[in-house]
Amino acid sequence: MTTEQFSVARKTVIVTGSSQGIGRTIARQFAADGANVVVTSRDESKVETIAAEIADETTDGEAIAVECDVTNRDEVDALVEATVEAFGTVDVLINNAGASFMADFDEISENGWRTIVDINLHGTFHCTQAVGPVMRENGGGVVINVSSTAGQKGSPRMTHYSAAKAGVITLTSTLAYEWAEDDIRVNCIAPGFVATPGVASQMGVDVDDVDRDSVSRRMGTPEEIADLAQFLASPASSYLVGETVTAKGVPRIEETHEV
Ligand code: NDP
């Protein structure tokens, strides 16, 4: 079997929220495959460190660091501008930046609710709308949104996050329909639990705790999500449009004997 169709070499890829976790792994993996990546988050020093790390690791793809808060439209526009200036266009946008906190619905302040919806849903809106004209001018592109299984079935003490991530899923299918004629494919990933610094701080689970020799697959690794992102970014997924691909390690089943 040829693997060429899975390649992202020479693509220009923006990965939002790539200072750590899934985003950082996607940026490193895509660059290792020959992509030019834009490493971006709210923390300039962190993204500069990651971009330098990528430059040390690979000579195939290039990496630049750009500070950008996805909730701020001016910063998002500047991110897209900086990308075009550095690499000429944007081929792939990965809307990975996300955040949450756990709280009962009654405890969530309006500010807390807005913050979570703003980062997860509004940030995806800003970045996607900002790259649209560049991708159209380029004759097409790929947008990959990152939702969550929380956005499909809900998650305890996460009404704000679940609602925002559910919005990301229907944004994906609706926009995929709208932008299909521009050859911009929009798809989405819905991960289950993935061992990242974000999850470590909320749940105390470390990536070293993930045992792939065991049959239990309740916790995924950032690499497993990056592999899926690479598939969705590559020509190998050309027949997938408007889909949300669930990666959660355990089968979807409605009823179990567990209580
Ligand atoms: P982490 O919490 O480990 O990292 C989140 C990243 O998002 C950081 O790079 C952070 O950068 C960035 N970020 C947060 N807020 C903003 C903002 N306003 N603007 C720009 N960047 C921002 O997350 P994960 O790697 O765990 O998750 C990545 C994505 O996957 C998220 O969308 C998350 O919701 C989703 N997901 C994760 C799951 C998991 O179990 N890990 C499960 C399901 C979905 P900085 O702080 O430097 O700005």
Q: Residue 186's pLDDT is what?
A: 99
| Percentage, residues of the chain above pLDDT 90 | 85
As a whole number, the mean pLDDT across the chain is: 95
Residue bearing the CA closest to ligand 1, atom 33: 98
Q: Residue 135's pLDDT is what?
A: 98
Question: What's the pLDDT tens digit per position in 9-64?
Answer: 999 999 999 999 999 999 999 999 999 999 999 999 999 999 999 999 988 899 99
- CA of 84 relative to ligand 1 center, distance in Å: 24
Question: What's the pLDDT tens digit per position in 118-156?
Answer: 999 999 999 999 999 999 999 999 999 999 999 999 999
CA-CA distance, 79 to 81, in Å (whole number)?
5
Query: Which SS3 state, helix, strand or coil, does residue 184 take?
Result: strand
The HSE-up count of residue 125 (CA atoms within 13 Å, CB side) is 14
Does residue 202 have a pLDDT over 80? no
- CA of 99 relative to ligand 1 center, distance in Å: 5
Which range among 75-89, 144-158, 164-178, 189-203 shows the weakest confidence by mean pLDDT? 189-203
Question: What's the pLDDT tens digit per position in 237-255?
Answer: 999 999 999 999 988 777 7
- Ligand 1 neighbours, Cβ below 6 Å, are 16-23, 41-43, 46, 69-71, 96-99, 119, 123, 146, 148, 191, 193-194, 196-199
The HSE-up count of residue 152 (CA atoms within 13 Å, CB side) is 16
Q: Residue 258's pLDDT is what?
A: 67
Q: Residue 60's pLDDT is what?
A: 87
In order of start, what are the domains of the chain with their CATH numbers? Answer: 9-247 (3.40.50.720)
Does residue 111 have a pLDDT over 90? yes
Sequence-ordered list of residues with C-beta below 8 angstroms from that of 81, at least 6 positions apart, any chain: none
Q: Supply the pTM of this predicted model.
A: 0.96
Q: Which of 14, 16, 19, 94 to mutate to test the pocket of ligand 1 (most atoms within 8 A of CB)?
A: 19
Asked whether the beta carbons of 11 and 36 are under 8 A apart, the reply is yes
Does residue 175 have a pLDDT over 90? yes
CA-CA distance, 34 to 246, in Å (whole number)?
26
Q: Which of 18, 20, 152, 161 to mutate to test the pocket of ligand 1 (most atoms within 8 A of CB)?
A: 20
DSSP H helical ranges for the chain: 21-32, 44-57, 73-87, 110-117, 123-137, 150-153, 159-179, 197-203, 222-233
- Nearest Cα to Cα of residue 182 among 220, 124, 142, 152: 142
Question: What's the pLDDT tens digit per position in 210-246?
Answer: 877 777 788 899 999 999 999 999 999 999 999 999 9
Asked whether the beta carbons of 136 and 233 are under 8 A apart, the reply is no
Does residue 259 have a pLDDT over 70? no
Residue bearing the CA closest to ligand 1, atom 44: 148
Tokens of 180: 């299909």
- State the catalytic residue, choosing from 30, 125, 161, 193: 161
Q: Which atom of ligand 1 is nearest to the CA of 43?
A: 47
